[in-house]
Amino acid sequence: MNLVDSQVWAKTPNGILSVKSAYIEAVRYLEVSKGCEDRPGCSDASRMEAIWKLIWSLKCPSKVKHFLWRACKNALPTKQCLMHRKVIKEDKCDLCGESESSGHILWGCKVAKEAWSETKFKIDRLGRPPKDFLDVLWLLMASSGEKDWEKFAVTAWLLWNNRNSVRFRGKCKNGKTIEGEARKYVEEFRGVCLPERQEAQPAPCFNQWTPPPQGMYKVNVDAAVFKEQRCCGIGVVIRNDKGQMMGALCKKITLPWGVLEAEAKAAKTGILLAWDLGLKDIVVEGDSQLVMNALKGSVIPTLAIQKIVEGSQGCLSHFKSWRIAHVRRNNNGAAHLLARNALSVDGCVIWVEDTPPVIELQIQNDVIAMDFGPYQ
């Protein structure tokens, strides 16, 4: 199958180069090359990752988490932001007359101070209120003591709602009322939603490898991205319907691909390996839903992987029969282990009718699960 080559920029969803994406990539490259030693606190990726993990793991309504995320991204329409965008001409807070930033309206304003004084959230030795709400969250995370982060998020959300009520309806609540409403809101959510989740019984699922239909061969593929080393790893494991090894591959690619490109390349590598082994009836299985759906043709692939997917589909057309399946990581354990192991190999290693030492235990467990599972 002859494909026309084309240039694709992998750092944007549509594959087209933009100044913004090029700038972000350039900054990232400079940070990696310098060892990220001189970055200011606001660019500390590990600290930001901790904040996003905290926010999205909160057990509260999604609208509250989304609000907290916007507040930390400085994306709330505060008067300071609106004046910066030349939407309004002054940034005075409707409650106290000071400059209305995210840090002020959610922490430093008199109503906010009254609300937080009723809680255990305190920042010691603070000379002046932080301008940005992100700084407030950082300081609180660095302080000692246990914290009810769900109540923190809801309180901040209600403070913002109160700000909007004052601005657009002229109605204001005092800090104690807001804190009381936040406490009641969190208690009601925990009392209603969390017990339901605990009582709900998940549908039974099998978290192990499952064999292909009789007479077919299953090609499990996976990829791993090693950002610090600026390379990727590919793992391929091929077995028959009895769980016996037909072939395996572990390959390191010294290119700083993203996860999507690496997963697409892993799928194509697995298909080519199955063809080289003379297998004509295969089931390709991976844990990247987007790539698997693109191979099946049920979705249009992004430009970043379009050529790889088209090449894989061209290879599949030569097989007698083929299927594509998406599975969870637990069902793709052997290929995942090989992909992670690629960091320690030089180039590419292939096994034919032999088991790589790094996945021997996983293969044994998969065979045992077959013997005692519904596929025996």
Q: Where are the domains of the chain?
A: 41-199, 217-372
Distance CA 212, CA 251 (A): 24
Report the pLDDT value the prediction gives residue 3, as an integer from 0 to 100.
61
Mean pLDDT over residues 249-273, rounded? 93
Q: Tell me the fold of 217-372.
A: Nucleotidyltransferase; domain 5 (3.30.420)
Phi and psi at residue 151, to the nearest 5°? -65, -35
With 80 as the cut, is the pLDDT of residue 333 above it? yes
More confident residue, 371 or 138: 138
pLDDT tens for each residue of 161-193? 999 999 999 999 999 999 999 999 999 888 776
Is the pTM for the entire model greater than 0.75?
no
Mean pLDDT over residues 298-313, rounded? 89
With a pLDDT cut of 90, the percent of the chain lying above it is 58
Task: Give the residue among 285, 235, 226, 287 at the shortest CA–CA distance from 257.
Answer: 226
Least confident range from 15-29, 297-311, 320-334, 354-368: namely 15-29
Q: Percent helix, strand and coil across the chain, each rounded to 5?
A: 50, 10, 35
Report the pLDDT value the prediction gives residue 126, as an integer from 0 to 100.
59
Report the pLDDT value the prediction gives residue 44, as an integer from 0 to 100.
57
Interhelix angle for 45-56 vs 62-72, to 10°? 160
Given CA atoms 173, 177, 178, 184 in this order, what sign does their dihedral have? negative
With a pLDDT cut of 70, the percent of the chain lying above it is 88
Q: How confident is the model at residue 199 (pLDDT cuts 50, 70, 90)?
A: very low
pLDDT tens for each residue of 339-363? 999 999 989 999 998 899 999 999 9
- Is residue 144 exposed (0-12), middle (13-18) or buried (19+ Cβ within 10 Å)? exposed
Distance CA 277, CA 53 (A): 44
- Give me the chain's average pLDDT, please: 86
Calculate the CA dihedral of residues 165, 171, 172, 173 and round it to 10 degrees.
-100
With 70 as the cut, is the pLDDT of residue 258 above it? yes
Task: Give the residue among 10, 163, 185 at the shortest CA–CA distance from 98.
Answer: 163
Report the pLDDT value the prediction gives residue 4, as an integer from 0 to 100.
66
As beta bridge partners, residue 223 has 234
Q: How confident is the model at residue 203 (pLDDT cuts 50, 70, 90)?
A: very low
pLDDT tens for each residue of 76-122? 999 999 998 889 999 999 999 999 999 999 999 999 999 999 998 88
Report the pLDDT value the prediction gives residue 296, as an integer from 0 to 100.
93
Report the pLDDT value the prediction gives residue 41, as an integer from 0 to 100.
42
